[in-house]
Amino acid sequence: MSMAVSIECLRKIYRGGFEALAGVSLEVPVGSVFGLLGPNGAGKSTLVKSLLTILRPTECRGTLLGQPIGHRSTLSRVGYLPEHAKFPEYLTGRQVIEFSAGLGKVPAAMAKRRTGELLERVGMADWGNKPVSTYSKGMKQRIGLAQSLVNDPELVFLDEPTDGVDPGGRIEIRKLIETMRAEGKTVFVNSHLLAEVEQVADHVAILTKGRIVESGKVSELTSRGRHYEIRTEGPVPPGIREKFATQGWEVAGDRVSIQAHDAGPVQPVIDALRAAKISIREVKEARISLEDLFLSAVNPDGKEASR
Amino acid sequence: MNVFLTLLLDSLRLLRARVLFWITLGISALVALIYLSIGFTPDGMSILFGAFDFKSEMFNSQSPMAEMMYLGIFSDILVGFWLSWVAVILAIISCAPIFPDFMSEGSIGIPLSKPVSRLTLFFYKYIGSLMFVVLQVAIFCLIVFVAIRCRVGSWNPSVFWAVPIVTLMFSYIYSVVVLVSVKTRSVLAAILAGVLVWFLAWGMQKSDDFLYVASHPESVPNVAGMPSMIGSFGSPEEMMKWHKISSMAIFAMPKTGETTRLMDRLIQVKGAEGEADKSLVAAATEGDDEVSGRLKKASTRNSAAYVVGTSLLFEALMLAWAASIFCRRDY
């Protein structure tokens, strides 16, 4: 599998000795949506900024679209929406996108065509010629997304893309990300909103205190704690409960939990319950949520997350 | 679109959006229009297109002194005061926030993530900022150009020398403003530093002028007891020593005053310029050609190449320092 981003080692120590990134290594497959999760101050933005040469890493080995990280020409194939993006208030939305195109060395004709298309795509066609100063936070974010795509990038970095966006706007942004994936683009999303990332990302990594503590496919990570639950009508009788306990099946009230990767081990439990004439209300496969994974990764000792 | 054109266009849009740009432009245009409104009648002169008349035997449409006066207003008030001081101060105030705004969080990320080097971004942004002065002075000069044609009767394109010279002079000070704003991101600190360096350079220039005169008494016109007054500060030999020290110190400074004085050499008005100068020099030197030659030599003792070259060296050092900070900083 070819990688859009392959970081062998990325370290950033700020003046004063604060280590924002402690030798991170990471791989982002081409054509995937990658979510970098972490609490505030974990180093997510520092990582993205290091890849885009916005700040200078202390140590950096790796590649971006097949070229060494920091290779300037490669940035013409990359799009970027910064966190808290601030656009000059004197520009219109259209001019913001054209400005980004100009700096990205996009040919004038292509820039003009894509600006129109992107304004349409982010739902800002009617507002394109109005000054940014008249926009809401969500509208600015949409223009930010449009400018990040003006050079038709292969790799797009979105740093907290739904920041300040209302629920309807978030759904649109999610759809936009899905469209990008369908077009074969690699999307790197920085976010602390776990549910959103879970809905859209193929791969995730959890960054905390400058270190990657978990990474992999979302489906694999969440299946790690896969188990089955059977709910009965009323509590499981004590006799059955003791028998189940000896088999290693957990019983709590009307719920029986079976640790299993497939449905096979669940069948004897169902049979035993049916034999005891206990009505089964529900059988379901349960997976660990990204939130559970995140909390256990960020607070391995199980303490409540402080942020 | 070309990166340079993109940043230039952005600078123009930025200026267009600044209220101070329009205020300055309005005041400049007003000053130039007031200049245009000065006229001469057979009995005297008028201002505000004839709204106010003044009778004068010396300055009227029959007298060659009228032309001299009109051009004197241009060189002494419009160039010497307005373009050299007021317009530059307004430009410094207007342009000082450009770099701190550009470098603010959320704004700088997008330009830096593009395939353009930081050095290129820095210099294109700097050049774009100078557009403020170029536009202001160009529009001012255009009105003055028309005014001189209307009042003196000749087209004088040399007035447009004011555009590159005032921009050049502004750029010396603006390089300091940029350095401090890149270093501190504080608009106020940048303006204060720019004004401080400007006044320091002006003060050192004045001191150097005085020390030159004191060490070269032969260049002083023999009027109003000036030679003996200057001589009271010390012997010419002693003053010469101090002048050498002053010259060395001033070498490293931007020569704002001398740069704007280059306009006196470059902006000439056909027919009248020589007469005006000759009359003034003759009055000061009591017709002594040798002394008038020395006077001229004293006022132009530094070549244009030296004045501009050493000032540009200062500017280059400031910009190199600022660029180094801009390019090495984490955003």
How far is it, in rounded angstroms, from Cα B237 to Cα B245? 13
For A97, the token pair is: 């996108």
| CB-based contact A55 B328, cutoff 8 Å | no
Residue of A nearest to B101 (CA): A88
Side chain identity at residue A161, one-letter code = P
Listed range (A111-115, B2-6, B41-45) with the worst mean pLDDT: B41-45
Contacts of A87 in chain B (CB under 8 A): 107
From the CA of A52, how many Å to the nearest CA of chain B? 5
Residue of B nearest to A147 (CA): B110
Domain A3-222, architecture per CATH: 3-Layer(aba) Sandwich (3.40)
Res A244 pLDDT > 70: yes
First to last CA, chain B: 26
Mutate to test the interface with A, among B9, B98, B110 (most CBs of A within 10 A): B110
Contacts of A49 in chain B (CB under 8 A): 109, 330-331
Q: Which residues pair with A3 in a beta bridge?
A: A29
Place of tokens 């593009």: B114
| CB-based contact B6 A99, cutoff 8 Å | yes
From the CA of A262, how many Å to the nearest CA of chain B? 47
Side chain identity at residue B5, one-letter code = L
Residue A195's alpha-carbon distances to A179, A191, A200, B98, in angstroms, are 19, 10, 9, 40
How far is it, in rounded angstroms, from Cα A158 to Cα A176? 12
CB B176 within 8 A of CB B182: no
Predicted pLDDT at B274: 47
Burial (Cβ within 10 Å: 0-12, 13-18, ≥19) of residue B158: middle
Full domain range(s) for residue B43: 3-328
- Residue scoring higher pLDDT (B312 or B295): B312
Q: How many residues does chain B have?
A: 331
| CB-based contact A76 B115, cutoff 8 Å | yes
Residue range A56-63: mean pLDDT, rounded: 96
Predicted pLDDT at B302: 84
| CB-based contact A54 B113, cutoff 8 Å | yes
Place of tokens 């005169």: B213
Name which of A43, A2, A49 is nearest A205 in CA terms: A43
Contacts of A74 in chain B (CB under 8 A): 115
Q: How confident is the model at residue B231 (pLDDT cuts 50, 70, 90)?
A: low
For A169, the token pair is: 């706007």
Side chain identity at residue A52, one-letter code = L
Q: What is the DSSP string of A192-225?
A: S-HHHHHHH-SEEEEEETTEEEEEEEHHHHHHTT
How does pLDDT run across B55-78, given as a tens digit for each residue? 888 888 777 777 777 877 887 788
Q: What is the 3-state secondary structure (H, E, C) of chain B?
A: CCHHHHHHHHHHHHHHHCHHHHHHHHHHHHHHHHHHHCEEECCEEEECCCCEEEECCCCCCCCHHHHHHHHHHHHHHHHHHHHHHHHHHHHHHHHCCHHHHHCCCCCCHHHHCCCCCHHHHHHHHHHHHHHHHHHHHHHHHHHHHHHHHHHCCCCCHHHHHHHHHHHHHHHHHHHHHHHHHHHHCCHHHHHHHHHHHHHHHHHHHHHHHHHHHHHCHHHCCCCCCHHHHHHCCCCHHHHHHHHHHHHHHHHCCCCHHHHHHHHHHHCCCCCCHHHHHHHHHHHHHCCCHHHHHHHHHHHCCCCHHHHHHHHHHHHHHHHHHHHHHHHHCCC
Name the B residues in 1-40 with CB < 8 Å from any A CB: 1-3, 5-7, 9-10, 13-14, 16-17
Residue range B246-271: mean pLDDT, rounded: 81
| CB-based contact A86 B105, cutoff 8 Å | yes
Number of domains in chain B: 1
- Residue scoring higher pLDDT (B42 or B254): B254
Predicted pLDDT at B273: 47
> Percentage of chain A surpassing pLDDT 90?
71
- Residue scoring higher pLDDT (B98 or B74): B98
Contacts of A56 in chain B (CB under 8 A): 328, 330
From the CA of A298, how many Å to the nearest CA of chain B? 27
| CB-based contact A56 B330, cutoff 8 Å | yes
Residue of A nearest to B107 (CA): A86
Burial (Cβ within 10 Å: 0-12, 13-18, ≥19) of residue A242: exposed
Res B322 pLDDT > 70: yes
Contacts of B331 in chain A (CB under 8 A): 49, 54-55
How does pLDDT run across A110-151, given as a tens digit for each residue? 999 999 999 999 999 999 999 999 999 889 999 999 999 999
Contacts of A212 (CB under 8 A, 6+ apart): A24, A25, A26, A205, A206
From the CA of A51, how many Å to the nearest CA of chain B? 9
From the CA of B25, how many Å to the nearest CA of chain A? 19
CB-nearest partner of B115 from A82, A85, A104? A104
How far is it, in rounded angstroms, from Cα A188 to Cα A177? 10
* Number of cross-chain residue pairs from A and B with Cβ atoms under 8 Å apart: 94
Predicted pLDDT at B119: 97
Q: How confident is the model at residue B272 (pLDDT cuts 50, 70, 90)?
A: very low
Contacts of B70 (CB under 8 A, 6+ apart): B38, B40, B148, B151, B152
Contacts of B271 (CB under 8 A, 6+ apart): B67, B154
The whole-chain average pLDDT of chain A stands at: 91
pTM above 0.90, yes or no: no
Contacts of B114 in chain A (CB under 8 A): 75-76, 100, 103-105
From the CA of A140, how many Å to the nearest CA of chain B? 12
CB-nearest partner of B106 from A85, A95, A99? A85
How far is it, in rounded angstroms, from Cα B62 to Cα B5? 51
Domain boundaries, chain A: 3-222, 226-286
Mutate to test the interface with A, among B107, B116, B330, B331 (most CBs of A within 10 A): B330
ipTM metric: 0.82
Name which of A57, A64, A74 is nearest A7 in CA terms: A64
How far is it, in rounded angstroms, from Cα B82 to Cα B31? 9
CB-nearest partner of B105 from A53, A84, A101? A84
**Fold assignment, A226-286:** Alpha-Beta Plaits (3.30.70)
Most confident range, picked from A184-188, A242-246, B237-241: A184-188
| CB-based contact B330 A55, cutoff 8 Å | yes
For A43, the token pair is: 């180093």
Other beta carbons within 10 Å of B259: 22
Paired sense of beta strands B39-41 and A250-252, if any: unpaired
